[in-house]
Amino acid sequence: MYLSKASRNYAGLESNATSDYVIFGVPFDSSTSYKPGTRFGPDSIRQASASLESNSYFSDIYLEEIGIDDEGDVAVVIGDINETLNRVSSVVAEIIDEGKIPLMLGGEHTITLGALKGIKKGIGYSPCLIVIDAHYDLRDDYLGLRNGHASVMRRSLEILGGAKVTYIGVRAYSKEEREYALSKTNIETFKPIDIHRMGLLNIASSVKRIMSNCKGIYLSVDMDGFDPSFAPGVGNPEPGGLTVQEGLALMNQLVDERLLGADIVEVSPPFDSNGVTASLAAKLLNEIIMKNYISKRTKA
Q: What is the pLDDT of residue 36?
A: 82
Contact 76, 42 (CB under 8 A): no
As a whole number, mean pLDDT of residues 241-260 equals 98
The string of pLDDT tens digits covering residues 119-172 is: 999 999 999 999 999 999 999 987 777 888 889 999 999 999 999 999 999 999
* Number of compact structural domains in the chain: 1
Q: What is the pLDDT of residue 33?
A: 64
User: In the chain, what's the furthest Cα-to-Cα distance?
Assistant: 49
Range of the domain at 25: 3-299
φ, ψ (nearest 5 deg) of residue 41:
-60, -50
φ, ψ (nearest 5 deg) of residue 55:
-80, 155
As a whole number, mean pLDDT of residues 91-97 equals 98
268: domain CATH number is 3.40.800.10
For the CA atoms of 156, 160, 163, 166, what is the dihedral angle to 10 degrees? -10
Q: What is the pLDDT of residue 34?
A: 64
Q: Which position has the higher pLDDT, 87 or 78?
A: 87
Spatial distance between the Cα atoms of 288 and 100, rounded to a whole number of angstroms: 14
As a whole number, mean pLDDT of residues 38-61 equals 96
Contact 118, 127 (CB under 8 A): no
Contact 214, 128 (CB under 8 A): yes
